[in-house]
Structure 1
Amino acid sequence: MYRLDTKENQLVELTETTFADSDIKERQHIEEWIRKNPEILGEDLLIIGHEYDKFEVNERLDLLALDRDGNVVIIEVKRDTSGSNVDFQALKYASYCARLSQQDILDIYTEYIDSHHESVDAKESLLKFLEADDEEELNSMLNVTQRIIIVGKEFDKRILSVCTWLYENNIDIKCISIKPYKLNDDLIVDSKQIIPPYKLENYYVRKKAEKQKRTIQGDREVIEFLQAVEESIIAQTNYSGRYGGKRNYFAGHKFLGIPWFFVFGYKKDGSATISLESSVEEGTKVIKYIGEKYRDQLQQSLGVPFELAEGVKNKDWLRLIAKLQLDTSLPLEERVQQYINVFSKYYEFIQKLKASNTLY
């Protein structure tokens, strides 16, 4: 990693260090970073448990989360090196979590909210995060399957080998490296997904979706389009999102230190949307400002209409929506590229506003 010396117009290499040398603790520091900013793991997650130890066995799970599809995500954190048994440990926790009922998840999340003195209702928070219409839909989404994310500075080769094999055999597992670098008296923390590499992940997302197509309640054309969009976003931008193959939209991760994210949607008739969304006041305030002040400029720059709209299910939700109408007679690749071109300009526009300190 490098720092740009603007005066000399040259790159200065930062010194890689260890968390131990910087007196950074696993539970006290790293787990707290992830708990407060789960987007460091490259996707939008809702943390529902921290240091959970209510299993029948006397073991403690570092962090427990839900993804946007309602799957339970086990997050196992190691400070510097992963060790040689973290994979087995994570698999054990996944097997324990597979038995969690919808009520168990609600109880775990309620306990987490109480322990961290957060003023939210657990059920309402889950409904909002998963965009479920009611409790019945919520229950149908929760804990359909389990995923694993292992976090550490360095990974033992044996761990990488096992995790690669697990992923190739349809166990959804990720290894994410977080490395500290010294910058004067500060630490710079860089995160990078090691297993699976993004392109490999995209291949297996397609492979799994094809295997599961008989059970997916969706349209094949929509699924293929959004899978291609996910892959293209990762390949062509520094943004990312995760498409689960079940809905006609998917969400990306939070960015620029603001609680907002992009949502990518598509329908069979070729109508498509790219929306910047938030349900948190800090995020909705900025979205409203951009929509009111820059909507005309966005429409002119991107060549598509924009709409500032409240959420259908939740009035606290605010969206700044770019609306596209794609020609369904065109090949998939052309439609996807048209969509990505609009997103890239939208994303770049927001980044420039942030860089120029004109978001408020």
Structure 2
Amino acid sequence: MPIEVGIWKVNDEIKKVTFSPIESERKLEKILVKDLSILSDDLLLIGRQVQTDYGKFIDMLAIDEEGNLHIIELKKNRTPREVVAQAVDYASWVQNLSYDRILKIYEEKNHGPLEEAFAEKFDNALPEKLNDSHQIMIVSSQLDSETERIINYLSNNFDVPINAVFFRYFEESDQQFITRSWLLDPNIVEEKSSNTKVESKKENWNKQDFVVNFEDGKYRNWGDAVRYGFVSAGNGRWYSKTLNQLFVGARIFCMIPKSGYVGIGKVIEAAKPIKDVVFSIDGQEK
């Protein structure tokens, strides 16, 4: 059973703060969209109402720092069988999402690149591989015994990485509070999610070779890059920051998006701001 939460106001006198059912799961969804850290500090929202290929909509889809996906489904007055079955159905679709598809979903929902948002949230570059595993979270304002039984059955007998979290809503004068309780220990669910991972057949990285995307267009020109021997990035903190991972002696494979690989090079100077870069042109340094 989830832990029952009570709140008491302690001033000159001790007074219990009364619980009331949160107005609706829709209000709860708005709260979570505004600040997903209420659910977990380790999640970045990819999008809400994400449409699957089967015409259904996932309430919220998020990603953690490891690049794993989290399906967040609000109960919204549905029966336990409906909400759990729907969430498992979504998981069957999510497990096959490719790296590029995840980037596209984020961009469509947020009108910006996932790479930059990820770096801003986690202060780290987006992992080379996404969606190694996934988790399911059922979110509700109250947790009924039937939902609890189903989730425990799936988790204990089939190692399905599923959990439930419910929020209690309290009011005191003009102040409002919500509390959070998990049905299962999130660390245990995290362990079960590793069972959904597919063993990678990819060779281990040699820590010497890098792929560099070069956006040939408005801000930089591939012809100039070849002529003067440089690669560049910008128009976002993440893009500039990732160039700092290149070290003198590293080998780069340069790729123009939607065109393919266009060149191979070797790093002879560390990254620096463009205002500090000097090229030798016709015997003159500029």
CA contact (8 A) 1:65 1:74 kept: yes
Q: How has the CA–CA distance of structure 1 residues 192 and 111 changed in structure 2, closer, same or farther, with 3 Å as cutoff? A: same
What is the CA RMSD across the aligned residues, in angstroms?
3.2
Deviations 1:320-346 (A, max 9, x none): xxxxxxxxxxxxxxxxxxxxxxxxxxx
Measure the CA separation in 2 of the matches of 1:41 and 1:143.
Answer: 20
Measure the CA separation in 2 of the matches of 1:73 and 1:81.
Answer: 20
Task: Determine whether 1:56 maps to 2:48.
Answer: no
Work out which of the residue numbers 139, 144, 167 in structure 1 matches 2:128. Answer: 139
Q: How has the CA–CA distance of structure 1 residues 173 and 90 changed in structure 2, closer, same or farther, with 3 Å as cutoff? A: same
Match of 2:155 in 1: 167
Work out which of the residue numbers 179, 192, 206 in structure 1 matches 2:181. Answer: 192
Work out which of the residue numbers 17, 37, 40 in structure 1 matches 2:38. Answer: 40
CA contact (8 A) 1:176 1:192 kept: yes
1:132: how far off?
5.4
1:173: how far off?
1.2
Give the counterpart letter for 1:126 in structure 2. Answer: F
Work out which of the residue numbers 63, 67, 74 in structure 2 matches 1:66. Answer: 63
CA contact (8 A) 2:141 2:168 kept: yes
Measure the CA separation in 2 of the matches of 1:190 and 1:314.
Answer: 42
Task: Determine whether 1:15 maps to 2:18.
Answer: yes
For residues 259-298 of structure 1, the aligned pairs below 5 Å read none
Measure the CA separation in 2 of the matches of 1:15 and 1:314.
Answer: 54
Measure the CA separation in 2 of the matches of 1:151 and 1:39.
Answer: 14
Measure the CA separation in 1 of the matches of 2:175 and 2:79.
Answer: 24
List runs of 5+ in structure 1 lacking aligned partners. Answer: 115-119, 216-311, 316-360
CA contact (8 A) 1:81 1:152 kept: no
For residues 1-360 of structure 1, the aligned pairs below 5 Å read 1-8=6-13, 10=14, 12-19=15-22, 24-27=23-26, 29-53=27-51, 55-79=52-76, 83-114=80-111, 120-127=112-119, 129=121, 133=125, 138-140=127-129, 142-168=130-156, 169-194=158-183, 196=184, 198=185, 201-202=186-187
Q: How has the CA–CA distance of structure 1 residues 96 and 209 changed in structure 2, closer, same or farther, with 3 Å as cutoff? A: closer
Deviations 1:288-325 (A, max 9, x none): xxxxxxxxxxxxxxxxxxxxxxxx9699xxxxxxxxxx
CA contact (8 A) 1:82 1:156 kept: no
Measure the CA separation in 2 of the matches of 1:2 and 1:130.
Answer: 32
Measure the CA separation in 1 of the matches of 2:109 and 2:193.
Answer: 33
CA contact (8 A) 2:68 2:134 kept: yes
1:3: how far off?
3.1
Q: How has the CA–CA distance of structure 1 residues 125 and 3 changed in structure 2, closer, same or farther, with 3 Å as cutoff? A: same
Measure the CA separation in 1 of the matches of 2:47 and 2:188.
Answer: 31
Give the counterpart letter for 1:113 in structure 2. Answer: N
User: Which structure has more RCO (C-alpha within 8 Å, separation ≥ 6)?
Assistant: 2
1:58: how far off?
2.3
CA contact (8 A) 1:18 1:180 kept: yes
CA contact (8 A) 1:150 1:174 kept: yes
Give the counterpart letter for 1:18 in structure 2. Answer: P
**SS of structure 1 residue aligned to 2:66:** coil
The answer to which structure has the higher helix fraction is: 1
- Percent of aligned pairs with the same amino acid: 24
Measure the CA separation in 2 of the matches of 1:3 and 1:187.
Answer: 13
Give the counterpart letter for 1:174 in structure 2. Answer: N
Measure the CA separation in 2 of the matches of 1:47 and 1:87.
Answer: 21
CA contact (8 A) 2:50 2:59 kept: yes
Give the counterpart letter for 2:99 in structure 1. Answer: Q
Deviations 1:108-138 (A, max 9, x none): 1111112xxxxx53222235556655x7xx3
1:15: how far off?
1.5
Measure the CA separation in 2 of the matches of 1:211 and 1:60.
Answer: 22
Measure the CA separation in 2 of the matches of 1:210 and 1:105.
Answer: 21
CA contact (8 A) 2:139 2:164 kept: yes
Give the counterpart letter for 1:158 in structure 2. Answer: E
Measure the CA separation in 2 of the matches of 1:93 and 1:210.
Answer: 18
